[in-house]
Amino acid sequence: MRIAFVAPFYGSRAAGGAESECRQTAERLAAAGVKVDVLTTCLLDLHHDWRVNVHSEGIREEKGVRVIRFRAETLDWRPFVSLNSRLLAGETLSESEERQFIALHINSFGLYRHLAKQASRYARVIFIPYLFGTTYHGLQLCAERSILIPCLHDEPYARLRIFQTLFQRARRILYHSAAEQRLGQALYGPDAGRGLLLGEGVQTAFESDGARFLRRYGVEPPFVLYVGRKDAAKNVPALVRDFCAWQRTGKTKARLVLIGPESVTVPPGAEKYVLDLGFLPEQDKKDAYSAAAVLCQPSMNESFSLALMEGWCCGRPALVHGRCAVTREHVVAAKGGLYYENTAEFGAMLDYLFSHPETAQAMGEAGRCYVRRHFDWPVIIRRWQKEVLSPSTAP
């Protein structure tokens, strides 16, 4: 059996949750004996200029996966900017404008020609994530064998009518969480027999040393950890504000350690307890989870949250935003932490976790068990083989 993943970006240098999920799943399925092709563009990732084909075209073997790269169309994107701005400002686009929007998005005619010719050679063609020309147009060429991993958030793009067609055409839809599936059903109608709540794989067994992190970065415990992109979409400026307000109450002295790309403005005077360590090597990030007292995930736009899972793998309790259905449901199901909805609750929850270390530890352990039971890679790969790739589940 040969399957294909279709993704706009692929490779170890491609940053992003969907990109990481696609690469990990492809490599692990290949290691489990499935023949895997990845059909992708020559673009680097979401944050690089979409008009620059960085990788060379052609076929390369990468960790057991056959990666076939096609040039992305280098179209003039100025009309795209105009449509995108209107969309994000809350304006409704006409149907024709929606088609223009996706036509001006990341597309590769070479990839589409390959799909049209070769799709019948693949038992399944898996498209990830929903918001790209490669997914929207590519899926139309092989809808009968298509699987969509949408990585859906509640955002203006999700309300475009063209995506209703996409979700209705996909033969299977793999969701990361129950909340994501509910959003998909609410936006695009019922998915009975097509929607599958599969989750996402997490590497649960890894070495991490909290003391090494404290030594290397000179961080004084205890600290609350945030791992991820530090921008407003992830609600990080609000996290910093809430943390500073909590520290001003003086009940518990702690620091906030931020790890990840981008940067956040730290209010004057708060530098002593907010440490932005920037982008760290993978091992140092894992060491940080072990050294932390609490892992905080303030984002309200998550379809899974790998950072939350990795924090639990190190036995750390979590504090998540209550207005993110995905992370809140994980926390409630795992009994792995608490959630907050405003500044006062944020401080109160942290006061509780710091003043009840045994309960906090038990929450962390419960989280660890939850991840191992549901999202450990061997569990996910078995589910892929049984529920997605077995002949009885053919679309």
Partner 1 sequence: MNEPIPDVEALITQIRAAVREAGADPDDPQKNKAADPDDLYENLRLLNEAHLVGQSRGRGLRHRFGRFLFRCLAPVPSEINAVHVRLVRILNRLVMALDGRDTITAGELLKRTRQRQDLMALLSDRLAELERRVQALEQSSTGPCDAASVADAPRQ
CB of 287 to partner 1, least distance (A): 20
Applying CB under 8 A, among 38, 42, 67, 142 the residue interacting with partner 1 is: 142
> Within 261-300, which residues bind partner 1 (CB under 8 A)?
261-262
Q: Kindly tell me which of 141 and 277 has the beta carbon lying closer to partner 1.
A: 141
Applying CB under 8 A, among 1, 57, 91, 109 the residue interacting with partner 1 is: 109
Size of the site for partner 1 (CB under 8 A): 48
CB of 171 to partner 1, least distance (A): 7
> Within 48-77, which residues bind partner 1 (CB under 8 A)?
48-49, 51-52, 54, 73-77
CB 114 within 8 Å of CB 89:
no
Question: Residue-wise over 91-118: b if at least 16 C-beta within 10 A, else e?
Answer: eebeeebbebbbebbbbbebbbebbeeb
CB of 80 to partner 1, least distance (A): 7
The two tokens of residue 213 are 């992190």
> Is there binding between residue 137 and partner 1 (CB under 8 A)?
yes
Residue 372: closest CA among 179, 207, 202: 202
For 6, residues 6+ apart whose C-beta sits below 8 A from its C-beta are 38, 39, 40, 111, 115, 125, 126, 127, 128, 134, 135, 138
> Is there binding between residue 131 and partner 1 (CB under 8 A)?
no
> Is there binding between residue 78 and partner 1 (CB under 8 A)?
yes
Q: Kindly tell me which of 54 and 369 has the beta carbon lying closer to partner 1.
A: 54
How big is the chain, counted in residues? 395
CB of 251 to partner 1, least distance (A): 29
CB 259 within 8 Å of CB 226:
yes
> Is there binding between residue 144 and partner 1 (CB under 8 A)?
yes
Q: Kindly tell me which of 115 and 366 has the beta carbon lying closer to partner 1.
A: 115
The strands making up 2-7's β-sheet, listed across from edge to edge, are: 58-62, 65-70, 35-41, 2-7, 124-127, 146-148, 172-175, 195-197
> Within 225-254, which residues bind partner 1 (CB under 8 A)?
231-233, 237
> Is there binding between residue 85 and partner 1 (CB under 8 A)?
yes
Q: Partners of 35 in the beta sheet?
A: 2
The two tokens of residue 392 are 């009885």
Question: Residue-wise over 346-356: b if at least 16 C-beta within 10 A, else e?
Answer: bbbbbeebbee
Q: Which residue has the tokens 């940067």?
A: 263
Q: Kindly tell me which of 10 and 112 has the beta carbon lying closer to partner 1.
A: 112
Chain centroid to Cα 313, Å, comes to 17
Applying CB under 8 A, among 6, 18, 30, 102 the residue interacting with partner 1 is: 102
Q: Which residue has the tokens 């209550």?
A: 322
> Is there binding between residue 394 and partner 1 (CB under 8 A)?
no
Contacting residues toward partner 1, per CB under 8 A: 47-49, 51-52, 54, 73-81, 83-85, 88-89, 96-97, 99-100, 102-104, 107, 109, 112-113, 115-116, 133, 137, 140-144, 169, 171, 231-233, 237, 261-262
